[in-house]
């Protein structure tokens, strides 16, 4: 549940310092003994400085330290001393880890020796916004400081922090550390859902509020989106406000607004997505019908709208990143560019995506989404190998790591399921596909990628339903949807529909051409099957049916034989 950035008065106040080691997991995976030694040396320095500044460490969580100070100046002084002390030790040749630090001031709940509450949570979020070796503080800390002499404060502006209702004004204390281009802040695209307007004056308030709440909950499942909590937009209720002003107030890039109107026994609902910078409407949809019918299908309406909104926001973010690539782009910009190319199916686009994801990981080695996308592109490249794709163990390890780093990310779970599927572990794949769907049932891509697993498990009609539901949710699907659609239809013996799906693929790759040839052959169109096979062999002269099938993890021998039959009928050699 989102928490307010402030707590009711009457509670004791404290300044909270949160420090987190940079690259700890990566260092542990490379040389555990060296990483533990460096972390231990850093902790000894931090612990000593906390004591010297009158603070108390009240919690540690793996590679994090949480400290309490009675005086704000002492907390900030300690944070500066920690960063300067670590840099001095590193310059002298000592082996330490660098840290990021966040400091926030406010009321706290004391539970024994522990401290809980929004103040602690905000400090942790501020740590995530800081640069390596840097410090982020809130405006509350700045205002409570006795003096800022000797501090170089750099305004960051209003920032949306995860599970915090109101935006927080953030500042950086500049110590000469290298910037991270606001990576963790930029990793989410900001969107605010305004309360729906009742343009007729006859719609129950709970209905309008319920629609907005459902959209907020659905959009919040997408990890690349920062969705403002309801409390942040509540005061705009009942007013037709300029979305650009709202976006400026809240620091978001996109606004979702809607209207409800009662028309006798009917109800009309209109929803639109507005880009804050231009004020232009990127997407709009209208639903109209009997009020009872619309209420009965509200879940379906929300599902469709959330999927469309998320897709439009992601597309806008990717396009902006391509157009506005800076000289030293942030990791998030690189990630968006990589995803943009990953949605294409040409080998050159895949190579570009892999390069971009590699650049992201060079900046942020433990960024789960980048690891997951890299693993998915490696899997795609494996699938194109004409003589067998080799071992998937390293790719599976990367996918496991991504899912372990962020077990709540639906896409990381989905990618682990995909890699496990092609590695032949269909049961493991099913577990992670289901987790991905549970985490985000609104993501059309997850449904589209679940479709082949259903086929390989011997459930082709389920595979058809999954991919066609994805196509319904995403009106502008990427080219690879056609591949999965064709496979499911072929396995279901719906050859004409399969051929049509395969034929619709842009820049068809090996799997598409093979599936098209098999579908046409099963239809008895031997001339068409021959042409498709010829195109396939022109692209992959070394193509062999046996190798192609060995990379398709059918559980049932009969399903494997069925695909072999079509490929052989098309004249392709085993």
Residue 123: pLDDT band by 50, 70, 90 thresholds? Answer: very high
pLDDT at residue 9 above 70? no
Residue 340: pLDDT band by 50, 70, 90 thresholds? Answer: confident
Tell me which range, 36-50, 117-131, 231-245, 291-305, is most confidently predicted by mean pLDDT.
36-50
Residue 73: pLDDT band by 50, 70, 90 thresholds? Answer: very high
Task: Quote the pLDDT of residue 157.
Answer: 74
Question: How confident is the model over 59-76, as a mean pLDDT?
Answer: 93
pLDDT at residue 286 above 70? yes
Q: Please, is 427 exposed, middle or buried when counting C-beta atoms within 10 Å of its C-beta (0-12, 13-18, 19+)? A: exposed
Q: Please, is 313 exposed, middle or buried when counting C-beta atoms within 10 Å of its C-beta (0-12, 13-18, 19+)? A: buried
Instruction: Say what angle helices 298-323 and 205-219 make with each other, to 10 degrees.
Output: 50
pLDDT at residue 419 above 90? yes
pLDDT at residue 399 above 50? yes
Instruction: State what percent of residues in the chain have pLDDT above 90.
Output: 40
Task: Quote the pLDDT of residue 450.
Answer: 93
Question: How confident is the model over 341-370, as a mean pLDDT?
Answer: 86
Q: Six-digit token pair at 289? A: 């019908």
Mean pLDDT of all residues belonging to the chain: 82
Between 199 and 127, the higher pLDDT residue: 127
Number of Cβ atoms within 10 Å of the Cβ of 267: 22
The H or E element that residue 88 is part of is: helix 72-91
- Location of structure tokens 């907020």: 216
pLDDT tens profile 188-235:
457 888 888 877 766 555 566 777 777 877 777 675 666 775 655 766
Q: Six-digit token pair at 27? A: 């260092």
Q: Six-digit token pair at 51? A: 């004591």
Could you give the C-alpha distances from 403 to 153, 375, 415, 456, in angstroms and in order?
Answer: 37, 11, 8, 23
Task: Quote the pLDDT of residue 331.
Answer: 72
Question: How confident is the model over 322-330, as a mean pLDDT?
Answer: 37
Sign of the CA dihedral running 358, 359, 364, 370? negative
Task: Quote the pLDDT of residue 320.
Answer: 46
Question: How confident is the model over 386-397, as a mean pLDDT?
Answer: 76
In DSSP notation, 10-34 reads: TS-EEEEEEEEETTHHHHHHH-HHH
Could you give the C-alpha distances from 339 to 55, 290, 318, 369, in angstroms and in order?
Answer: 44, 41, 8, 10
Min mean pLDDT across 40-44, 272-276, 388-392, 469-473 is at: 388-392
pLDDT at residue 239 above 90? no
Q: Six-digit token pair at 317? A: 């973010």
Task: Tell me the H-state helices in 385-509.
Answer: 393-405, 410-422, 426-439, 444-456, 460-473, 480-491, 495-503
Q: What is the distance between the alpha carbons of residues 546 and 246, in angstroms, rounded to a whole number?
A: 59
Q: Please, is 25 exposed, middle or buried when counting C-beta atoms within 10 Å of its C-beta (0-12, 13-18, 19+)? A: middle
pLDDT at residue 79 above 90? yes
Question: How confident is the model over 427-441, as a mean pLDDT?
Answer: 87
Q: What is the distance between the alpha carbons of residues 228 and 236, in angstroms, rounded to a whole number?
A: 13
pLDDT at residue 255 above 80? yes
pLDDT tens profile 488-500:
999 999 999 999 9
Min mean pLDDT across 21-25, 325-329, 481-485, 516-520 is at: 325-329
Min mean pLDDT across 98-112, 342-356, 386-400, 449-463 is at: 386-400
Q: Which domains, and CATH codes, for the chain?
A: 13-179 (3.30.70.1230), 189-314 (3.40.50.10610), 481-574 (1.25.40)
Tell me which range, 300-309, 311-320, 351-360, is most confidently predicted by mean pLDDT.
351-360
Q: What is the distance between the alpha carbons of residues 190 and 188, in angstroms, rounded to a whole number?
A: 6
Question: How confident is the model over 62-89, as a mean pLDDT?
Answer: 94
- Location of structure tokens 């106040």: 13
Task: Quote the pLDDT of residue 206.
Answer: 55
Whether the CB-CB separation of 314 and 281 falls below 8 Å is answered with no
Question: How confident is the model over 73-82, as a mean pLDDT?
Answer: 96
Residue 180: pLDDT band by 50, 70, 90 thresholds? Answer: very low
Residue 425: pLDDT band by 50, 70, 90 thresholds? Answer: very high
- Location of structure tokens 């319904």: 472
Task: Quote the pLDDT of residue 106.
Answer: 94
Between 507 and 63, the higher pLDDT residue: 63
Q: Which residues contact 75 (CB under 8 A, 6 or more apart)?
A: 15, 16, 17, 53, 55, 67, 69, 103, 105, 141
Whether the CB-CB separation of 247 and 254 falls below 8 Å is answered with yes
Task: Give CA angle at 322 (318, 327), nearest 5°.
Answer: 125
- Location of structure tokens 């993890």: 553
Instruction: State what percent of residues in the chain have pLDDT above 70.
Output: 83
pLDDT tens profile 515-549:
999 999 999 999 999 999 999 999 889 899 999 99
Residue 140: pLDDT band by 50, 70, 90 thresholds? Answer: very high
- Sheet arrangement for strand 13-21: 56-61, 64-69, 13-21, 99-107, 135-138, 168-173, 153-159
Q: What is the distance between the alpha carbons of residues 566 and 519, in angstroms, rounded to a whole number?
A: 7
Task: Quote the pLDDT of residue 3.
Answer: 38
Q: Which residues pair with 274 in a beta bridge?
A: 255, 281
């Amino acid at each position: 549940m989102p928490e307010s950035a402030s707590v009711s008065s009457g509670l004791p106040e404290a300044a909270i310092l949160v420090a987190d080691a940079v690259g700890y997991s990566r260092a542990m995976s490379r040389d555990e003994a060296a990483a533990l030694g460096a972390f231990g040396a850093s902790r000894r320095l931090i612990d000593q400085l906390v004591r010297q500044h009158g603070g108390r460490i009240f919690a540690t969580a793996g590679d994090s330290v949480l400290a309490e100070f009675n005086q704000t100046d002492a907390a900030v002084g300690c944070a500066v001393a920690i960063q300067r002390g670590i840099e001095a030790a590193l310059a002298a040749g000592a082996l330490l880890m660098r840290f990021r630090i966040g400091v926030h001031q406010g009321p706290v709940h004391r539970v024994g020796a522990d401290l809980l509450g929004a103040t602690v949570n905000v400090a942790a979020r501020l740590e995530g916004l800081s640069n390596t070796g840097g410090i982020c503080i809130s405006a509350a800390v700045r205002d409570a400081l006795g003096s800022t002499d000797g501090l170089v404060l750099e305004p960051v502006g209003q920032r949306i922090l995860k599970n915090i209702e109101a935006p927080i004004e953030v500042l950086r204390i500049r110590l000469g550390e290298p910037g991270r281009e606001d990576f963790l802040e930029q990793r989410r695209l900001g969107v605010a859902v305004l309360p729906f307007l009742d343009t007729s004056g006859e719609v129950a308030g709970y209905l309008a509020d319920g629609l907005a709440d459902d959209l907020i909950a659905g959009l919040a499942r997408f990890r690349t989106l920062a969705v403002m909590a309801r409390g942040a937009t509540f005061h705009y209720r009942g007013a037709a406000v300029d979305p650009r002003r709202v976006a400026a107030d809240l620091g978001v890039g996109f606004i979702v607004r809607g209207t409800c109107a009662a028309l006798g026994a009917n109800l009309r609902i209109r929803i639109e997505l507005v880009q804050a910078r231009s004020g232009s409407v990127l997407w709009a949809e209208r639903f109209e019908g009997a009020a009872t019918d619309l209420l009965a299908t509200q879940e379906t309406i929300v599902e469709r709208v959330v999927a469309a909104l998320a897709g439009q926001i992601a597309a806008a973010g990717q396009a902006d990143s391509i157009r506005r690539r800076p000289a030293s782009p942030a990791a998030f910009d690189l990630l968006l560019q990589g995803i943009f190319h990953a949605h294409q199916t040409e080998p050159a686009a895949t190579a570009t995506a892999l390069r971009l994801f590699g650049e992201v990981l060079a900046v942020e080695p433990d960024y789960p989404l980048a690891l997951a996308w890299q693993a998915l592109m490696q899997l795609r490249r494996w699938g194109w190998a004409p003589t067998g794709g080799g071992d998937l163990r390293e790719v599976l390890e990367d996918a496991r790591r991504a899912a372990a780093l962020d077990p709540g990310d639906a896409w990381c779970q989905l990618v682990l399921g995909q890699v496990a599927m092609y590695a032949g572990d269909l049961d493991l794949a099913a577990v992670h596909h289901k987790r991905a769907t549970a985490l985000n049932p609104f993501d059309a891509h997850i449904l589209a990628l679940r479709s082949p697993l259903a086929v390989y498990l011997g459930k082709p009609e389920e595979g058809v339903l999954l991919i066609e539901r994805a196509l319904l949710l995403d009106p502008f699907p990427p080219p690879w949807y056609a591949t999965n659609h064709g496979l499911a239809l072929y396995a279901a013996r719906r050859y004409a529909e399969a051929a049509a799906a395969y034929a619709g693929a842009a820049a068809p790759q090996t799997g598409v051409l093979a599936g098209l040839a098999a579908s046409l052959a099963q239809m008895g169109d031997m001339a068409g099957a021959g042409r498709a096979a010829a195109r396939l062999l022109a692209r992959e002269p070394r193509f062999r049916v046996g190798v192609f099938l060995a990379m398709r993890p059918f559980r049932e021998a009969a399903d494997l034989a069925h695909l072999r039959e079509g490929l052989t009928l098309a004249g392709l050699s085993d």
